[in-house]
Amino acid sequence: MPRFIKTKFNGVYYSELKRSLHNGKPDKCFYIKFYENGKRHMRKVGTSSQGYTAQMVANLKAEKMNIVTEYNFGQLYDNFMVWAKSNKKTWKCDENLYNNHVKEYLEKISVNSITPQDITNILLKMKTKGKANGSNYAPQSIKHILLLIKRIFNYNIKNELIKYNPAENVKIEKFDNTRISYLYDDEISRMFEYLESGKEWANDVALIKLAFFTGLRKSELFNLTWDNVDIDNKRIFLYDTKGGKNQAIIITDNAVQVLLDIKDKCSDSTLVFPSKLGGKRNDVKKLWSRIKKAANIRSDIRFHDIRHTFGTLATATIPVKIVQKMMTHKDIKTTLRYAHIQEKEMIDAANNLGQLFSNINKNSGGAATSTDTKKGN
């Protein structure tokens, strides 16, 4: 294979033909590099001895290759995913994000016609109109969508398919990431009452219960196998967690009982929570939607908010550093969001108590304070 040498022109390379001379030097054979369906191609154009120069080849690329590579955004995404599936552990998240939220807006749009304002308008539409199911986009979700769009453009720029990223300077409003949703006490009670009613498949019930008792992420539950469960020592081993490393978490007696209850029922599967067809689950939306409706849980509460509920309850009684390990958070700042909720509730309680004291003092004309002081002496 020839050794390709990059010229100063984007996507134009040459190799030296040492056995063929031109003006006393090795002849140069020029190539155009381009990508198609995620694969790199080098197309031979001609040699210096045939009259070609790097500038001429660059002009040809601009004229001819644009016809071949008039990409729409969907093709850029396909190119990106070929790379992502081999290099990103979270490629499935990118795939779901694109299919569920980006595809309908950008898939068939010519890349050359997409402007920064187009990207901004899409994000504003998501923010104001919400999702197709009627729920609202969380600010963090919109941030992830924008980051994915930027990554797709940047990957294709890096590989010289396009030159411009219209999303590069698009900004989104700052948001308070400490605001998280969690189930209220009465919602938890109704949820467990429904789970015990026998109206749902036992494995589905166990999935929800273990999520509540451990705070495990959806992907961690779906990927969990019996080989990674040590019931005797009350441990679950997690691999390729979002925190970036393999970890073991200690589970409560409640979680152990959930696993014991379903172990014999899932003897034919290596997965703890297989789908009804026996394979790996890929979603829990329909199940969680049924449970929310039956248990009268707020419509905007997501399955992931079960994890938030676990974190909120845990930080009320357990040191934050330990909760961080239990929830496999890489950064303790993430865990501190739950502690912030506890602090806010304490501040609200203190303010309410202060208001109560003020009302008592006001109704007594200030006499209560004076009398109590004398009694105290």
Domains in the chain, CATH or no CATH each: 5-68 (no CATH), 73-158 (1.10.150), 185-335 (1.10.443.10)
Three-state secondary-structure class, residue 1: coil
Task: Tell me the C-alpha distance between 73 and 62, whole Å.
Answer: 20
pLDDT tens across 98-139, in order?
A: 998 999 999 988 888 888 989 998 988 887 776 666 666 777
Residues 249, 325 contacting (CB under 8 angstroms): yes
Task: Tell me the C-alpha distance between 247 and 144, whole Å.
Answer: 25
pTM value is 0.54
Q: Taking residues 194-217, what's their average pLDDT?
A: 92
Question: Residue 21's pLDDT is what?
Answer: 82
With a cut of 70, say whether residue 311 has pLDDT above it.
yes
Confidence label for 80 from pLDDT (cuts 50, 70 and 90): very high
Question: Residue 292's pLDDT is what?
Answer: 96
Q: How far is CA 353 from CA 39, 75, 348, in A?
A: 67, 60, 9
With a cut of 60, say whether residue 148 has pLDDT above it.
yes
C-alpha 43 chain-centroid distance: 38
pLDDT tens across 233-273, in order?
A: 999 998 765 555 678 888 889 999 999 999 877 667 899 99
pLDDT tens across 48-72, in order?
A: 888 888 888 888 776 665 544 568 8
Q: How far is CA 24 from CA 53, 54, 204, 262, 324, in A?
A: 16, 18, 77, 80, 69
176 vs 333 pLDDT, higher one: 333
With a cut of 70, say whether residue 3 has pLDDT above it.
yes
352 vs 312 pLDDT, higher one: 312
Confidence label for 362 from pLDDT (cuts 50, 70 and 90): low
Question: Residue 76's pLDDT is what?
Answer: 92
Question: Residue 34's pLDDT is what?
Answer: 74
Q: Taking residues 159-186, what's their average pLDDT?
A: 79
Question: Residue 329's pLDDT is what?
Answer: 74
Question: Residue 369's pLDDT is what?
Answer: 39
Question: Residue 291's pLDDT is what?
Answer: 95
Question: Residue 249's pLDDT is what?
Answer: 84
Q: Taking residues 27-41, what's their average pLDDT?
A: 78
- The angle that helices 367-376 and 332-363 make with each other, rounded to 10 degrees, is 100
Question: Residue 241's pLDDT is what?
Answer: 55
Three-state secondary-structure class, residue 286: helix
Task: Tell me the C-alpha distance between 21 and 372, whole Å.
Answer: 108
Q: How far is CA 205 from CA 171, 201, 210, 282, 299, in A?
A: 41, 6, 9, 17, 19
List 251's β-bridge partners, or say none: none
Question: Residue 368's pLDDT is what?
Answer: 40
